[in-house]
Amino acid sequence: MYGRLVEVDGLEPSKLEEVMSVIRDRVIAGMKEREGFGGFISLFDDGSRRMRNVVLWESRESAEEAEREWASMRDELVRGFGATVRSADLYEAPIVEIQAGVRA
């Protein structure tokens, strides 16, 4: 498994609900249609205005293909909310443990 850690800085806390809606309705919905999508985790700290998202993929190839397709849209969406993408690095995920049925 692989995880892309997308670091976003400068996100206004007042825009969080709108951002979450876009992530759920457009980003995750679109990624679910791609072969190899494994999951999405979003973390936000309103004090520092930083968001960290982890996108899980079954293989390096599926992660890299998705990045080629989604990178420009991601950057455009983030800029539209007045924030910036600091990094979008891919990591091998040797341990992924998610409790089934637990939801945020």
**pLDDT tens, 59-101?**
999 999 999 999 999 999 999 999 999 999 999 999 999 887 6
**2-92, CATH topology level:** Alpha-Beta Plaits (3.30.70)
Using DSSP, state whether 37 is helix, strand or coil. Answer: strand
Q: Where are the domains of the chain?
A: 2-92
Positions of E strands within the chain? 2-9, 37-45, 50-57, 84-92
pLDDT higher than 80, residue 23:
yes
